[in-house]
Amino acid sequence: MIRRDLFALALAAVLLPLPASLPRSMSIALLFDVSFSVTPKQLASESSFEEVIRAVTKQFQPGDSAVIGLVASRVAFGPANRSSAKELTADWRQLLVAPPSERFGPSPLFDALDAGVSRVHALPGARAVVLWTDGRPTGNVLGAEDAGARAATAGVSLNVIVDDKTWRIDPRRGPLGIERACQVFDTMARMTGGVCLVNSRGTSATVKQLERVLEQLRNR
């Protein structure tokens, strides 16, 4: 038989409203472009990938989770529901073994973002897809706006980090590459409350921006 005072306490706890500031849980699909246009040098700088993974998991609280996806001609996903940088980094390394025919083909990045949305849209809390890429989408079934609209409908935020030091800006003709790439991604990111970040000042500065974006996402 339950004591009356304990019953009252339990009832009060159940009836107490949740504090408004209680952060939501977060589910993230973390995609990395490993197509051939991403040079071996970029791939070799594993620390960049790790930094992004760490930036995401640093924000994690109990109940948060992520899944890794590597993008070549198609997206290969690792196991779902990962919560540590160690697990996610191990998944990234495992997935890197993609057939060369897939890596030399197109880079359907809009379709990949859409695949990321499908991985997280049924999960609880704040949901986001983060894509690290050199910014050259090709061979997509979906256009940028189509993918953005689908993500917005699913309530998933799209976030893209464009990272390629080989792109140039022609002072006479305006943005030639990387900035233009972010213009394309920015349209879809804005539709979902996400962002496109250009990694022009070093990975550390960029991942700090990403951390802020994810923090805002959780508290939105």
Partner 1 sequence: MSTIARAALCTCAYLLVLQQRPSFRTDVNTVAMYATVRDASGHLVPNLTKDDFTVTDDGQATDIVVFSNEPVPIVVALMLDMSGSMAANYRRVRAAAGAFVDELWEGDRATIGTFGAEVAVSPHLTSDKAILKRVTEEEIWPGGGTPLWSGLRAGMIALTAQPGRRVVLALTDGDEACPARAYNRVPTVSSIPDPVFPRIVDALGPSDAVADLCATGPEVERRAVMQDFMVYGVEFHTRRVFSPESVVRLHDIIDETGGGRFQLETNADLATTFARVVEELHHQYTIGFVPHALDGKAHRVDLRAKNLQLRARARKTYVAPSKS
Residues that bind partner 1 (CB under 8 A): 35-37, 40, 43-46, 93, 96-101, 103-107, 110, 135-141, 143-144, 166-168, 170, 173, 176-177, 181, 184
Q: Rounded to whole angstroms, how far apart are CA atoms 209 and 160?
A: 11
Identity of the residue, 56 or 144, whose beta carbon is nearer to partner 1 in the bound complex: 144
Phi/psi for 70 (5° steps) reads -110, 130
Q: Rounded to whole angstroms, how far apart are CA atoms 130 and 30?
A: 5
Q: Minimum CB separation from partner 1 for residue 56, in Å? A: 19
Q: Minimum CB separation from partner 1 for residue 150, in Å? A: 15
Query: To which residue do tokens 């998991």 refer?
Result: 57
Tokens of 19: 């504090």
Identity of the residue, 64 or 164, whose beta carbon is nearer to partner 1 in the bound complex: 164
Identity of the residue, 17 or 174, whose beta carbon is nearer to partner 1 in the bound complex: 174
Q: Minimum CB separation from partner 1 for residue 164, in Å? A: 8
72-99: burial string, b at 16+ Cβ within 10 Å, e else: bbebbbbeeebeebebbbebbeebbebe
Identity of the residue, 3 or 41, whose beta carbon is nearer to partner 1 in the bound complex: 41
Q: Minimum CB separation from partner 1 for residue 44, in Å? A: 5
